[in-house]
């Protein structure tokens, strides 16, 4: 037992690896939110008039909305007037090649293990790096452009491809959707835009890396992915933030559109700063992610590994509108110390023969609270809809909580919906079995946790799977007592 306590202590002491700050001169808006700030952001980005109108419409609607209270998380109210809504690394001029990127900034991403240099060619991942809500660099742009794939920052897309942005932006998550998505629509400063033309299979993983750097800022990025008929893309997202005592807000929106026979795979490894052991500081991660399978036989798959953030509030969803479309959600959510997570998914079956699969694994340790909240809705016309959901929770320690709130609404008799959930701890017999075979307790726990999360980890692209596994190890290994 004492051995277990030791390893528990070690784990508790393991620190957030990405907590440093980069000294980059930033171009910031004053704190506070009003129409002038929105005009300021829009002007800073040289946006066309329609974009400003769109933002203002969202802002005016946001004013009428209330902060959602239903998630199973507790945190002091966010003071929306104290946040700086725009912060960009200062750049002297437009940059045309990576060599011109601020060396300090490049060092930042090197430190994060994301090399913006061409050496990335070896691993074949195109990266769009976003720091404090502004896209600083996108790699492999020209190669992708040859295939007709557009992969660029959102502000660039607004300028270069207004017809595409106009058509799809807000089509999945309308500006009026919810409190934080309305806020995001009003103030988003950048994000990634990705467009895969008809019949193109994107040859490499596309990736966005988000980092909050400046203090007192909020990060509001907007991602839009459109896969035309028969297209395929796999998209990765990663995030980190410096260690600070204050709570910072991250309210992003991700929209995915998959047309006929298209497939989009979206993977996230979320590792925002979770706060210290006493629960001080950390990121509030209030994210709206939604995809629509608009065409027949289309498929959208969400995979997420959630280890960071003080408070997480996120439900990647799929609207299964096209006949025979498929939605998937694989999630591992780990909470430790005083972290709180309320996460899950929504699968809305509208088309015929639509299928969805939900696999959610929650691991709670320390004083944390981990909730799964999901909705499976089968509409009247969704003949032969099929859903399978599984959510398992693992409790490490007797001060943490694991909660499950699955909503199932069925309006069609041909639907087949199954849901199962279990909650348990790592059994003493399991540990004993491993000990007997020469594995020490720490290794045994790591083995069991990895096995517990494997079903989800297997869904991650190779590069991410390794990072995610390491993250799991840092967050948890050995924390059984």
Partner 1 sequence: MSELKELIQNKYNNEAFDGNGSLQSLSQKGIQLFNDQGIPTVKHEEWKYTRIANVLNKDFSYAVNATAVTKADVDDVRLPGNESANELVFINGIYHAELSTVRSSADELVIVPLSEAAKGEYKAVVDANLGHSANYHPDGINAMNNAFAYQGLFVAVKKNKTVEHPLYCYYINDARSNSVLSQPRTLIHVGVNAEVFLVEEEITIGSSDSFTNRVSEIIVEENANVHIYKIQNEDSHSSCVKTTHVRQVGVSKVNSVTLTLNGGTIRNNLNFILEAPGCESHMYGLYCVKGETHVDNHTIVDNVMPNSFSNELYKGIIDENATGVFNGKIFVRQDAQKTNAYQSNKNVLLSDTANVNTKPQLEIFADDVKCSHGCTVGRLDEEALFYLRARGVGEKAAKALLLHAFAGEILDKIELEPIRKYADVIISERLGFEF
Q: In this complex, which beta carbon is closest to partner 1, that of residue 282 or of residue 374?
A: 374
164, 421, 473, 474: which one binds partner 1 (CB under 8 A)? 421
What is the CA 287 to chain-centroid distance, rounded? 7
The reply to whether 424 sits near partner 1 by the rule CB under 8 A is yes
Could you tell me which stretch among 112-120, 333-341, 389-397, 459-467 binds partner 1 (CB under 8 A)? 389-397
Contact between 81 and partner 1 per CB under 8 A? no
Site string for partner 1, 42-71 (x = CB under 8 A): ----------------------------x-
Helix or strand or coil: residue 413?
coil
Burial class (CB within 10 angstroms; exposed 0-12, middle 13-18, buried 19+) of 174: middle
Q: Does 414 bind partner 1 (CB under 8 A)?
A: yes
Please identify, using beta-carbon distances, which residue of 97 and 413 lies nearer to partner 1.
413
Helix (H) / strand (E) containing 431 = helix 428-436
Residue 268: both structure tokens together: 């996230």
Please give the size of the binding site for partner 1, defined by CB under 8 A.
35
Determine how many CB atoms are found less than 10 A away from the CB of residue 210. Answer: 26
Beta-carbon contacts of 121 under 8 Å, excluding residues fewer than 6 positions away, are: 140
Residue 351 C-beta-side C-alpha neighbours within 13 Å:
23
Nearest-angstrom CA–CA distance, 108 and 219? 17
393 binds partner 1 (CB under 8 A): yes
Which pairing describes strands 369-378 and 346-349: parallel, antiparallel, or unpaired? parallel
**Residue 399 corresponds to which tokens in the numbers above?**
């001060």
Report in angstroms how near the CB of residue 481 gets to partner 1 at its nearest.
Answer: 9
Among 50, 407, 432, 433, binds partner 1 (CB under 8 A): 407
Shortest distance, position 405 Cβ to partner 1, whole Å = 5
Q: How far is the CB of 285 from partner 1 (least distance, A)?
A: 22
Distance, in Å, from the CA atom of 461 to the CA atom of 206, rounded to the nearest integer, reads: 11
Q: How far is the CB of 421 from partner 1 (least distance, A)?
A: 5
Give the residue from 142, 130, 239 showing the smallest Cα distance to 190: 130
Residue 243 or 423 with smaller CB distance to partner 1: 423
Our CB check for partner 1 shows the closer of 183 and 363 to be 363
Quick one: which of 399, 451, 454, 470 contacts partner 1 (CB under 8 A)? 399
Instruction: Return residues touching partner 1 (CB under 8 A).
Output: 70, 378, 380, 393, 395-425
């Amino acid at each position: 037992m004492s051995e277990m306590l030791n390893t528990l202590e070690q784990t508790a002491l393991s620190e957030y690896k990405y907590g440093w700050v980069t000294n980059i001169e930033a171009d910031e808006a004053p704190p506070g939110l009003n129409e002038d700030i929105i005009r300021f952001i829009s002007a800073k980005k040289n946006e066309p008039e329609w974009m400003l109108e769109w933002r203002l419409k969202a802002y005016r609607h946001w004013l009428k909305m209330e902060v959602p209270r239903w998630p199973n998380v507790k945190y002091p109210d966010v003071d929306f007037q104290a946040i700086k809504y725009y912060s960009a690394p200062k750049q002297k001029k437009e940059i045309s090649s990576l060599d011109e990127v601020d060396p300090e900034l490049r060092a930042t991403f090197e430190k994060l293990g994301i090399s913006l240099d061409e050496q990335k060619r070896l691993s074949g991942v195109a990266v769009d790096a976003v720091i404090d809500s502004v896209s600083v660099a996108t790699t492999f742009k020209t190669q992708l452009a040859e295939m007709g794939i557009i992969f660029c920052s959102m502000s660039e897309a607004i300028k270069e491809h207004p017809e595409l942005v106009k058509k799809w932006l807000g089509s999945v998550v309308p500006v009026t959707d919810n409190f934080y998505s309305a806020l995001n629509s009003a103030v988003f400063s950048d994000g990634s835009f990705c467009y895969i033309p008809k019949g193109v299979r994107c040859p490499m993983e596309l990736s966005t890396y988000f980092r909050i750097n400046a203090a007192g800022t909020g990060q509001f990025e907007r991602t839009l992915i459109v896969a035309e008929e028969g297209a395929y893309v796999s998209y990765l997202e990663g995030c980190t933030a410096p260690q600070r005592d204050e709570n910072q807000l991250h309210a992003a929106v991700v929209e995915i559109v998959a047309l006929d026979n298209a497939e989009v795979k979206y993977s996230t490894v979320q590792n925002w700063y979770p706060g210290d052991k006493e629960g001080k500081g950390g990121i509030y991660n209030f994210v709206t992610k939604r995809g629509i399978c608009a065409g027949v036989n289309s498929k959208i798959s969400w995979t997420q590994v959630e280890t960071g953030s003080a408070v997480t509030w996120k439900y990647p969803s799929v609207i299964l509108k096209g006949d025979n479309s498929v939605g998937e959600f694989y999630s591992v959510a780990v909470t430790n110390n005083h972290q709180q997570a309320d996460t899950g998914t929504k699968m809305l079956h509208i088309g015929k023969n639509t299928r969805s699969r939900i696999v959610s694994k929650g691991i709670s340790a320390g004083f944390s609270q981990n909730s799964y909240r999901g909705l499976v809705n089968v509409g009247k016309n969704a003949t032969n809809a099929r859903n399978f959901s599984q959510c398992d929770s693992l409790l490490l320690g007797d001060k943490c909580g694991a909660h499950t709130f699955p909503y199932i609404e069925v309006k069609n008799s041909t639907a087949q919906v199954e849901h199962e959930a279990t909650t348990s701890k790592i059994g003493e017999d399991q540990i004993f079995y491993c000990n007997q075979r020469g594995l020490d307790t720490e290794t045994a726990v790591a083995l069991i946790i990895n096995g517990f999360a494997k079903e989800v980890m297997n869904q991650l692209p190779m590069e991410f799977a390794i990072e995610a596994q390491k993250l799991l190890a840092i967050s948890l290994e050995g924390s059984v007592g």
